[in-house]
Amino acid sequence: MSISTKLILRYNKILTNDEHPIMLRITINRQSQFVTTKKSSSVENWDEKAQSVRKSHPDHRTINPLLKSINSKIDLILLNAGEEQEIVSFDDVKNVVLRMTVTDRDIKSQNLLEYFDTVINRLKEQDRLGYAETFDSTKKCLKRFTGNRDYPFLNIQLSFLNKFEGDLLKRNCAATTRSVYFRTFRTLWKMAIKDKVCPEKHYPFKDFSFAKYNNPRTKKRAITKPQIDLIADIKIGADQDTLINSRNYFLFSFYCRGLNFTDLAELKWGNICEGELSYTRAKTGEDFRFKLHDQALRIIEHYKNLDGSSDAGYIFPILYKRHDTPKAIRFRKQKILKRVNRDIKELAKSVGIERTVTTYVARHSYASILRSNGVSKEIIGQTMGHDSLKTTDIYLDDIGDPVLDALINAAL
């Protein structure tokens, strides 16, 4: 990949001040695009070799530092991309220039809650309904905190964030929920800067203590393999289809490496080939392929030629042809998931498991049981699609580190 940039004067364009715009020319694989620096110069005041304006330019003390900063910032990005072997696009470079040249006059007048609605509607248009709901719940929480009053971004300071946090603590809001609210709030703020709704220099999150929300401790969710077996061995009447399905979904998730319910619901018979499962995880877009456990194969066998099976080619009787829009699919999944979690909770209680058991417990249990049997964190994380061992550690928080415990105790 060949990429180069150069600050130039666009002689073929004349502005209302009779000067020419100073632009950055980006050339990637011999194809060029331009982005404006929002500065201009006459031909006489432009030094092409130095890529700067001459001292004769009345605004040279403002323009030249900006141009120098643009070149330096882009050089650093290209250097890092080369070391990491990453591909740099035209938009990547353009966004650098746009962020550095935004002025207060470019900032659109929009309040916080109003901008939340803008982002939520945008996500809905993109069929990112789950993400839209996360922003909507964060907005509702902020709205309750402000008493339905909206504020301009520039009026929100660090004190606002601290008071919002205090309000959540007063309401006994769990750490994991607070983490979702604050991470979503911070993401929205960055979107506002990118959309020029808020100036880049106004960023109260810079001084907000955020470390506690990066990897919050979750409640214990895993159960043991003997407890998994207890649920699997419960006698369920042949006429109790919904209860059978609920247990099957839970067990299939466990035996398929903690398969997420969203991905489970969208599995089709074409995802199974010669005893292997291949699918793309909806959350990350990562592809998975692995040999199915015998118990998972038995569950799949149950749904072959089953009355009431999906008419749309799905393995499990969750989605049908009538669920033909992203909204319909999402609502159907939510409805079935709610029922499955209710059923699994009751099944677990019936065999003496006191912990609240849901489909998500299957994922945590998969990780914890593997670690208890000596499987490395790296392998566990790889099979679950984690991009960081910190994420794997969250799943293993229930049990500490039994492998490390065994090594230490054996050495003493």
CA 61/CA 63 separation, integer angstroms: 6
Q: Supply the pTM of this predicted model.
A: 0.58
Residues 6+ apart with CB under 8 A from 388: 381
What does the pLDDT average to over 15-41? 91
240-297 pLDDT per residue, tens: 999 999 999 999 999 999 999 999 999 999 999 999 999 998 877 889 999 999 999 9
| Inter-residue contact 189 to 198 (CB < 8 Å) | yes
pLDDT score of 201: 84
DSSP characters over 318-359:
T--TT--SHHHHHHHHHHHHHHHHHHHHHHHHHTT--S---H
374, pLDDT greater than 60: yes
Average predicted confidence (pLDDT) for the chain = 87
Which residues sit opposite 21 in a β-bridge?
Answer: 40
| Inter-residue contact 380 to 370 (CB < 8 Å) | yes
Q: What is the DSSP letter of 62?
A: H
351, pLDDT greater than 90: yes
pLDDT score of 108: 64
What does the pLDDT average to over 357-383? 85
84, pLDDT greater than 80: no
- Three-class SS state of 6: strand
407, pLDDT greater than 60: no
155-206 pLDDT per residue, tens: 899 999 999 999 999 999 988 889 999 999 999 999 999 888 888 888 999 8
326-342 pLDDT per residue, tens: 889 999 999 999 999 99
Range of weakest confidence among 95-99, 135-139, 267-271: 95-99
